[in-house]
Amino acid sequence: MPDNPYVPIPVRVQNVRIESDDRTLRTFDLAFGDDSEPFEYLPGQFCQLSILGKGEAAFGIASSPTERESLRFTVNRVGTVTTALHYLKEGEELGLRGPLGNHYPVEKFKGQNVVLVGGGFAFTTLRSLAAYLLANRSDYGDITVIYGARRPGLLLYRNELAEWEKRGDVKVHLTIDEPAAGWDKAVGFVPALAEKVRPSPKDAWAVVCGPPVMIKYTMPVLLDLGFAQDRIYTSLERRMKCGVGKCGRCNIGPKYVCTDGPVFSYAELASLPEGF
Amino acid sequence: MKAGKSQTPSPKSQAEQLRETARMLLKEEKADLVVGYERGSSKRRARPVVIRDEKDVDRLIFDNTCGPSLVPFLRKTLRAAKGRDSKSQTPNPKAETSLRVAVVAKGCDGRALVQQVAEGQLKRDQVVIVGVGCNGMRDSRRASSDEKRDASCERCRYPNPPVYDVFVGEPVEVGTGDEFAGVAEFEKLASADRWAWFERELAKCIRCYACRNACPMCYCEECFVDQTKPLWLGKSAERPDTTLFHLVRALHTAGRCVDCGACERACPLGVRLGLLNKRLEQEVRERFGYTAGLSMEATPALATYSEEDKQEFIL
Amino acid sequence: MSSSLRIAKPDLDQLVSALTSRYQLFGPVDVDGVTVLREVKSADELALGAALDGPVKAAFFPQTETLLTYDGTTSEAPPGRDKPTAVIGVRPCDARSLLLLDKVFGTGKYRDPLWQRRHDDSLVIGLGCSAPLETCFCNSMGSGPFDAEGSDIMLTDIGDAFVAESCTDKGERFLKTAYKSQVQRPSQADLDKAGQARSKALAALAPAADYSGVKTALAKLWESALWDEIALGCLSCGACAYLCPTCHCFDVQDETAPGTQQGRRVRIWDTCQASLFTKEASGHNPRPGSKERMRQRVMHKFSYFVDNFGETACVGCGRCIRLCPADFDVRQVLERVKAEGRRTKDEERGTKKDVRHAG
Amino acid sequence: MSDWEPKIVAFLCNWCSYAGADLAGVSRIQYPPNVRVVRVPCSGRVNPLFVLKSLENGFDGVLVSGCHPGDCHYISGNYIARRKFATLKTALEFIGVEPGRVQFSWVSAGEGEKFAQVVARVTDDVKKLGPAKRLVKTIGGGQ
């Protein structure tokens, strides 16, 4: 970060593609410009993407630090800033502030098994984590991905998921909410799939990202399976402005999602009043 | 009671009568709650209070410190009684409540209640209007004298509520003179000087929206300044954003404002907001023959029209 | 070593011009009976002694402040300062508030460059509070009407003059350079008068309340009906937050000149009492009602801030009571929190006893 | 300032005034080019905020034009608008915005000539007033 944490660095859209069949999600690969140095980061961190004149919004980094060439973000079109982002074309410039926040404890995961549970378009930082773990495959034990969306067309990074399925060293379990033509995998909600997959808690860590309702129902499943509270991690979202712990709106109890989070363990959240 | 005024046993004070009335309303179950005033953080201030129990009735007061309009608090109380919409966790404005609330109403507040009913915001049978005659509120700015009254009280011509269920104390004699004299005086200034006056006043505004939130007639579910798509107004506390906010608020309350002065009283920085509202009240009365808060049946002036309306200003 | 001197009131302008030559000076100014903090150039603009209605934070954290300016896709941080900032004539409660804000903006992983630009090398000249108001409770917040914490120099009004005392090295250096030759030392009578002013002020304050149990009590009151109840007496406006000397939450907005790509990104004071504060673009709002927002305000000041910075984010200035349109009284809230805390504690003790009996 | 030309925004109702402007155009009636037209369904659609926002964004004048009384496509939109405009005009002039900055007219679909006259009149009035200053928001560097 530069001396002034409010001033974004310029980045350029290297590649943009429509991510979901309803066109509400777009994935951007951003390249650092001539005036901006690539920065170090770890899976779970986020950035503020900035369209001057429209504002800023926070997005988890979907790329892995092992992918040096660019930064990836997937943007759901909901408000003013995300709409402006959706209008960006290849080669256009935007601003970026980051990396912000903490990250998944990948050091702790070393030599251990990791279970990734994701739902919908909150899969972004899980993709970062999965790519990171796979790039450093020998450092980690079993890797299990449990991921679901409403429809096949709403699953993020479908090509990559297919590649992972082909690799022998990662177990991928996908599900959609309701049966769909051409879908031969699981049908049902993510917590139910997790219950069926029954990942072992032994020497394992779980990372859960998804809509609040999915998290709410997945947590008990993992706890029942025997995952300890401090071995389950999740990433939170709150309305943010500054991203650097000053503007005061993303707090959950005394913790700021932007600087103390966005990654929290279940144990930490359980001790916070607004945690769930 | 001033000494020597009367040797006979002093009649019950307005506050005592008010407490008796409140006690009776609660006891006879004519009201579930009483919204009134209690003594506040100093002897010069009163704060809204919700009395639920006969034993708390003695907290009620009424004097020249009871400035805030109780209507927003009445609305909040009714809203809270409606409970929350389980899904959005926000109060559901469409839900029904059988709660009957007695509300202490000086003249202006009584008019505000009438206007609320006229605008379909309040059901008449949901409120028990406890009317009180009002001699005006002490100047809410830092004036030490109790003699000086708020600007809206000085020009008030409705010290008694036009509609009430119970009246406590004696009606107050209606003031005479031109209530728009202050407006006329201001209009003698040249256009540029009027602009300078408003610029200076609105430079004090910090956009806290106390005026809006204290106003009995500002009840929009979402105020235009809170809308973000589009974002109508910059959020800075600089002009002209502040000016536009106050202008639009004045326009939106034109023909509905009862000149209770709650906005000016609420303003922590003493912005004199009432003058523009008063001018629009005058315009609406003279042009459309409508005065807010007098009839529960009449359609508010800006929600209707007459084919005969003057149109001398239209090319 | 602290030094004191006597400044006759007609000579105050000398102090002010010494200040303005080195600093951008802010002080209390009367605007139609309301006292706000404004930039001042001469002593006769000052309304010394009046309780400041506007907060002193405005000098260091203005309500609207440019974070950056932009043209198209290039942006630029605002230019640095010309002079450091000084404030004069602020009450000790206000002076102390700056220390609390400095914890937020001046410490942590990220420092706030805009705050630092104004706050670094600043000079705070407090004015002992000889007339506490009914709404004042600085003594309940661990301070007092002549508390020097946060002031570099403290003035005491002794009628025809001020006694000026340096409270920090910075204050000492300033007084030395500003009054090189014509220093007038206060006489014993002056010092006695200053002492009297102090005791008079202390006597005027209500006895200090003990709020030490508030934080512990709050921890158990998350789901309490208390919040519903007290929220009923609140209009959910921003007066308290904007006028609070320690409230520091802000919004960030881009403002573009119509028809151009030039504009500025500004930060603007914000209030946790507004529903928009936490409302997300999707429409979801984690704090949907005034109950949740009121709870956030109280928790932030009296619990979270303590967790993060070791102090309560309240200096007892009483603005939020005095200037509240609904006369909402935070002291009453704290008393109720204490009472609720005692009640739940008793209940717990009761339950434990029951358990023991049952066992 | 002699080469200064005012920028004026005109909110024209779809059914009468816009058609009137159109007629002025096809009839090749000359009128000042200072007006930028915003077509609205009805003069009743014109929220006073549109007018204020136009001034804030730097227009020197605003014209709102609808159907003649009795001719409103929506029966009464222009009658309601007439009340709103009367209050708006009063409010603006009371706070010291120069009379003439904001004007109103009724122009029917057949009144191409009148539309041109109205625009000429408004342009002339605004020219005499000079560039708008009051209510205009300038985005400066701030503090």
Averages of pLDDT over runs of 10 residues in chain A (276 residues) are 81 93 94 80 96 94 91 93 94 93 95 94 94 94 94 93 92 93 91 93 94 92 94 91 92 92 93 74
Residue C47 reports pLDDT greater than 80: yes
| Same domain flag for C162 and C125 | yes
- Subunits adjacent to chain C (3 or more Cβ pairs under 8 Å): A, B, D
With beta carbons under 8 A apart, name residues in chain B contacting A80: 228-229, 231
Q: Which amino acid appears at position A133 of this protein?
A: L
* Domain boundary residue, one of B140, B168, B196: B168
D87 close to C (CB below 8 A): no
* Alpha carbon distance A63, A49 (integer Å): 15
CB contact (8 A) between residue A56 and residue C263:
no
Nearest to D143 among C64, C258, C262 (CB): C64
Residues B132 and B204 in one domain: no
Residues of C with CB below 8 A from D141's CB? 66, 69, 78, 264
Q: Which residues in chain A touch residue C113, judged by CB atoms under 8 angstroms apart?
A: 3-6
Among chain B residues, the shortest Cα distance to D78 is held by B305
Q: Does C304 touch chain A (CB under 8 A)?
A: yes
Give yes or no: residues C220 and C160 share one domain: no
Q: Average pLDDT in the C94-117 region?
A: 94
- Looking at chain B, the whole-number percentage of residues with pLDDT higher than 70 is 90
Note whether residue B312 is domain-resident.
no
In a domain? residue C28: yes
Touch between A and D (at least 3 CB pairs under 8 Å): no
* First-to-last C-alpha distance (Å) of chain A: 31
* Residue C354 confidence (pLDDT): 47
Q: State how many domains chain C has.
A: 2
What gap in Å lies between CA A61 and CA A71, rounded to an integer? 7
Class level of CATH domain A9-100:
mainly beta
- Residues of the domain holding C222: 214-347
Q: How far apart are CA A204 and CA A109, in angstroms?
A: 8
C50 lies in the same domain as C182: yes
Helix, coil or strand: residue C35 = strand
In a domain, B315, yes or no: no
For residues B18 and B163, membership in a common domain is answered with yes
Residue B191 is assigned to a structural domain of this protein: yes
- Closest CA of chain A from B255, distance in Å: 35
Structural domain includes residue B7: no
Q: Which residue in the set A1, A79, A274 is minimally distant from C281, CB to CB?
A: A79
- pTM listed for this prediction: 0.92
According to CATH, the topology of domain A106-235 is: Rossmann fold (3.40.50)
| Of B119, B139, B168, the domain-final residue | B168
Question: Tell me, what amino acid is at A188?
Answer: G
Tell me the pLDDT band of C35, cut-offs 50, 70 and 90: very high
Are B26 and B54 within 8 A, CB to CB? yes
Q: Band the pLDDT of C356: cuts 50, 70, 90.
A: very low
Nearest beta carbon to residue C69 from set D57, D58, D141? D141
Verify whether the Cβ–Cβ distance C104 to A246 is below 8 Å: yes
B158 and B67: one domain? yes
Residues of chain A found within 8 Å of residue C286, distances taken between Cβ atoms? 238, 274
C195 and C271 part of one domain: no
C65 to chain B, any CB pair closer than 8 A? The answer is: no
Q: Which of C151, C177, C204 is the last residue of a domain?
A: C204
Residues of A in contact with C278 (CB under 8 A): 238-239, 249
The verdict on a CB contact (< 8 Å) between D139 and C255 is yes
Would you say residue C19 lies in a domain? yes
Structure tokens at C43: 């002593």
Shared-domain flag, residues B157 and B190: no
Tell me, yes or no, whether B22 and B150 share the same domain. Answer: yes
Residue B308 belongs to some domain of the structure: no
CB contact under 8 A, C74 and A10: yes
Residue B273 lies in a domain: yes
Residues in D closer than 8 angstroms to C66, CB to CB, are: 141-143
Answer with the one of C184, C204, C224 that is the final residue of a domain: C204
Predicted pLDDT of residue A275: 63
Total beta-carbon pairs less than 8 A apart between chain B and chain D:
111
**Cβ separation D82–B307 shorter than 8 A:** no
Chains touching D (at least 3 CB pairs under 8 A) are B, C
Residues C343 and C255 in one domain: yes
Residues C60 and C199 in one domain: yes
CA C138, C139, C144, C148 torsion-angle sign: negative
- Asked if the model's pLDDT at residue D142 lies above 50, the reply is no
B255 CB within 8 Å of a chain D CB: yes
Residue contact C329–B47, C-beta within 8 A: yes
- 3-state SS, one letter per residue, for D46-78: CCHHHHHHHHHCCCCEEEEEECCCCCCCCCCHH
How does pLDDT run across D32-69, given as a tens digit for each residue? 999 999 999 999 999 999 999 999 999 999 999 999 99
* Residue ranges of chain A whose CB lies within 8 Å of a chain C CB: 1, 3-8, 10, 52-57, 78-82, 92-95, 237-239, 241-242, 244-249, 251, 253-254, 259, 273-274
Q: Domains in chain D, please, with CATH?
A: 8-129 (3.40.50)
Q: Are C167 and C244 found together in one domain?
A: no
Q: What is the DSSP letter of C300?
A: I
Residue D58 contacts C, CB cutoff 8 Å: yes
* Residue whose pair of structure tokens reads 């690799």 in the numeric block: A167
Query: What is the distance between the alpha carbons of residues B7 and B10, in angstroms, rounded to a whole number?
Result: 8
Q: Which of A214-223, B92-101, C210-219, C269-278 has the least mean pLDDT?
A: B92-101
* Full domain range(s) for residue B78: 14-168
What are the C-alpha distances in Å from C329 to residues A171, B36, B48, C203, C314?
59, 17, 12, 22, 13
Examine the domain organization and report whether C288 and C219 are in the same domain: yes
Number of Cβ atoms within 10 Å of the Cβ of A18: 12
Whether residue B161 sits in one domain with residue B22? yes
Name the neighbours of B, counting chains with at least 3 Cβ pairs within 8 A: A, C, D
Q: Per the domain annotation, does C57 fall within a domain?
A: yes
**Scanning every residue of chain B, which has its alpha carbon at the shortest distance from the alpha carbon of A79?**
B229
CA dist B78 and B74 (Å) reads: 6
Contact B305 D84 (CB under 8 A): no
Q: Which residues of D touch B306 (CB under 8 A)?
A: 79
Residues 6+ apart with CB under 8 A from C244: C55, C317, C319, C320
Residue type, B139: D
Residues C255 and C183 reside in one and the same domain: no
Burial code (b: 16+ CB inside 10 Å, e: under 16) for A66-103 equals eeeebbbbbbbbebbbbebbbebeeeebbbbbbbbbbb
- Among A153, A134, A159, A135, smallest CA distance to A145 is for A134
Is residue C147 domain-shared with residue C38, that is, in the same domain?
A: yes
pLDDT in tens, chain B (315 residues): 344 444 455 567 888 999 999 999 999 999 999 999 999 988 889 999 999 999 999 999 999 999 999 999 999 888 888 765 444 445 555 566 788 999 999 999 999 999 999 999 999 999 999 999 999 998 766 555 566 788 899 999 999 999 999 999 899 999 888 999 999 999 999 999 999 999 999 999 999 999 999 999 999 988 999 988 888 999 888 889 999 999 999 999 999 999 999 999 999 999 999 999 999 999 999 999 999 999 999 999 999 999 999 999 999
At which residue do the structure tokens 């001719």 appear? D71
Distance from CA of D136 to the nearest CA of B (A): 7
Q: Which residues does chain C have within 8 Å of residue A93's beta carbon, measured at their own beta carbons?
A: 73
Residues B113 and B154 in one domain: yes
Domain-terminating residue out of C169, C204, C239 = C204
Residues B23 and B69 in one domain: yes
Based on the fold, state whether residues B252 and B207 are members of the same structural domain.
yes
Helix residue ranges per DSSP H, chain C:
12-22, 92-106, 113-119, 169-178, 188-204, 214-219, 226-231, 239-243, 290-299, 305-309, 319-322, 330-358
Domain boundaries, chain A: 9-100, 106-235
- Tell whether B62 is covered by a domain: yes
In contact, C164 and C5? CB cutoff 8 Å: yes
Q: Which residues of chain B are within 8 Å of residue A79 when distances are taken between CB atoms?
A: 228-229
If you measure CA to CA, which chain B residue comes closest to C235?
B213
Distance from CA of B289 to the nearest CA of C (A): 33
pLDDT tier for residue C4 given thresholds of 50, 70 and 90: confident
Residues B111 and B201 occupy one common structural domain: no
Whether B9 is in a domain gets the answer no
C357 located within any domain:
no
pLDDT at B92: 56
Q: How would you class B312 by CB atoms within 10 Å of its CB: exposed for 0-12, middle for 13-18, buried for 19 or more?
A: exposed
Number of domains making up chain B: 2
Query: How far B236 CA sits from the closest chain C CA (Å)?
Result: 6
ipTM, 2 decimals? 0.91
Residue C352 covered by a domain: no
